[in-house]
Amino acid sequence: MAAALLTALSLAAQNTSLLDQAVLEAQNSPQLNHAQLSVCVYNISKGKGVYSYQSQQSLIPASMAKMFTTAVGFEKLGASFRFRTSLKYTGKIDHAGVLHGDIVIIGGGDPVLGSYRYKQTVPDSLFATWLRAIRGCGIRSVDGRICYDASIFDDKQHNDSWQWGDIGNYYGCGASGLNFHENMYFVYFNAGSKLGSAAAVDHTSPGGLRIHSQNNVTTGPANSGDNVVIYGDASSPIRVYEGTVPLGRRNFSVRGAMPNPAESCATLFTAYLQSKGISVSGSPVQKLRHSDGKDIVDYLSNTYYVIAQYTNLTSNNLYAESILKYLGYKQYKKGTTENGVKALMAYFDESGLNCDGVRLVDGCGLSRLNTVSCEFVCRFLKIMAQRPVYNDFSRSLSTVGENGTAKNLLPKLPSNIAMKIKSGTMEGVKSYAGYITNAKGDLLCFSVIANNFTCATSQVQPHLEQIMMQMATLQ
């Protein structure tokens, strides 16, 4: 018995030593020598910390922060929750089927409304559902307008700390109370005939959007990929296109942030109704008073489980920001980023988490003002592992070697070890956090964050992968 214990202790010490070596090699490498590196590992099954390296430093987590938003969403909303978008009408319908009044689209913060990702949510499917309901009410034409109400959330889609170079692009679109088509659009370019020549805009999709573009895109080398940056604010129809598209490509698609998604939804629905024989006399307009409105239909989103899973697996910023604002709405009656963050911090407090060194300003991690410590992340993950929502939450994280952002991560991870991960990446930032089931069946949680490196992320990632490989051997 004593010999077996000594052997176990010796193996544990050896494994910790190998992790120490990996951490120190990373920290002393040319890539991270002047950067900040933090590591923390906790054995949940045994109720003890097993490794710590500068784990109380406050560092930028990037998209790893989505874990907090989605986890609290599971707790406060539930896996079966669905966002609700309502259609109402005001006025009266005469004997000829003419509505003398308005149809109002009342947003509920649904991030997948009109999404191009799912067959049942694409604009044509969504609008067809609404059309059937409108006809079911006896409406054959509208002597009025298609109005929109996005007031469940504030009208500030962008966080003040997001970078100008992000917010015109699809990943920086922000959340509206009436999201539509994931608040993004496609712009298709035709490259020029030689390097440096102008690349023309062929068309945009969805069609019919109110966009005024200034195109400065030129032709780059063949196979150079998407190097286009789109500049523009959510409230403005003006978009400026800069950068390059690859030589020889036609209809090369780039995704941008849609101007005023709530208004765009109403505008495109107006055009859809008219194409189906239902005339609408007026132009879309925002309308916040509809207390006298009569119900047409309530449209429900995918379940929260599906939305949260997609949020974490693909690191979708819009989904995370919509969840955050809805948490703010649910708890404080107004869907703002500030109220959403307040709801997260309140949950941390309810859970007994010391938040020293923690600062959150958004729900997706796009802001460089977000800071957490690896030690805090592990304490948070430990608490989540003890909650009834753990199975749903953990399934929303990427499985190393299988799916999401971790599909090609750690290819040499032993088959008797499982790892669930949420990653984060931005310039000078790389982070990972999640759960490890080790060879003995113990459940561990971990966090590793690197900040302020000046090389490419691809040069830092092998060091962090080696650290995580050694984490998986800890007891």
Spell out the residues 6+ positions from residue 279 whose beta carbon is closer than 8 angstroms to its own: 141, 142, 273
Residue 452's nearest CA partner among 431, 432, 421 is 431
Average pLDDT score over residue span 3-7: 36
Rounded Cα gap, residues 435 and 41, in angstroms: 10
To which H or E segment does residue 174 belong?
none
Question: Residue 433 has what pLDDT?
Answer: 98
Rounded Cα gap, residues 280 and 141, in angstroms: 6
* Residue 85, number of CB atoms within 10 A of its CB: 25
Q: Check whether 13 has a pLDDT greater than 90.
A: no
At position 325, the amino acid (one-letter code) is K
Question: Residue 8 has what pLDDT?
Answer: 38
pLDDT tens digit sequence for 342-363: 999 999 999 999 999 999 999 9
Average pLDDT score over residue span 79-92: 97
Q: Determine if the pTM surpasses 0.85.
A: yes
Joined together, the tokens standing for residue 421 give 């991960």
Average pLDDT score over residue span 126-142: 98
Question: Residue 291 has what pLDDT?
Answer: 67
pLDDT tens digit sequence for 212-270: 999 999 999 999 999 999 999 999 999 999 999 999 999 999 999 999 999 999 999 99
Average pLDDT score over residue span 285-312: 92
* 146-177 b/e (C-beta count within 10 Å ≥ 16 → b): bbbbbbbbbebbbbeebeeebbbbbbbbbbbb
Joined together, the tokens standing for residue 376 give 């805090």
Question: Residue 79 has what pLDDT?
Answer: 98
Rounded Cα gap, residues 446 and 43, in angstroms: 9
Residue 366's nearest CA partner among 426, 311, 406, 313 is 426
Strand order in the sheet with 200-205: 200-205, 184-190, 252-257
Question: Residue 358 has what pLDDT?
Answer: 98
Q: Check whether 415 has a pLDDT greater than 70.
A: yes
Q: Are 114 and 126 in contact (CB under 8 A)?
A: yes
Question: Residue 4 has what pLDDT?
Answer: 39
Per the prediction, the chain carries an average pLDDT of 95
Alpha carbon distances (Å) from 307 to 74, 89, 186, 426? 11, 29, 22, 23
Question: Residue 5 has what pLDDT?
Answer: 32
Average pLDDT score over residue span 397-401: 95
Q: What pLDDT band is residue 15 in, cutting at 50, 70 and 90?
A: low
Rounded Cα gap, residues 473 and 440, in angstroms: 9
Question: Residue 473 has what pLDDT?
Answer: 86
Question: Residue 2 has what pLDDT?
Answer: 40
Question: Residue 14 has what pLDDT?
Answer: 53
Helices (H), 150-195: 164-167
Pick 328 or 118 by higher pLDDT: 328
Alpha carbon distances (Å) from 310 to 180, 258, 431? 17, 21, 19
Residue 323's nearest CA partner among 81, 117, 94 is 81
Alpha carbon distances (Å) from 89 to 110, 134, 145, 191? 20, 9, 10, 46
Rounded Cα gap, residues 459 and 446, in angstroms: 22
Question: Residue 288 has what pLDDT?
Answer: 79
Question: Residue 38 has what pLDDT?
Answer: 98
Q: Are 364 and 65 in contact (CB under 8 A)?
A: yes
Average pLDDT score over residue span 99-107: 97
At position 218, the amino acid (one-letter code) is T
DSSP string, 74-115: HHHT-TT-EEEEEEEE-SEE-TTSEEES-EEEE----TTTT-
Q: Are 73 and 331 in contact (CB under 8 A)?
A: no
* Residue 474, number of CB atoms within 10 A of its CB: 20
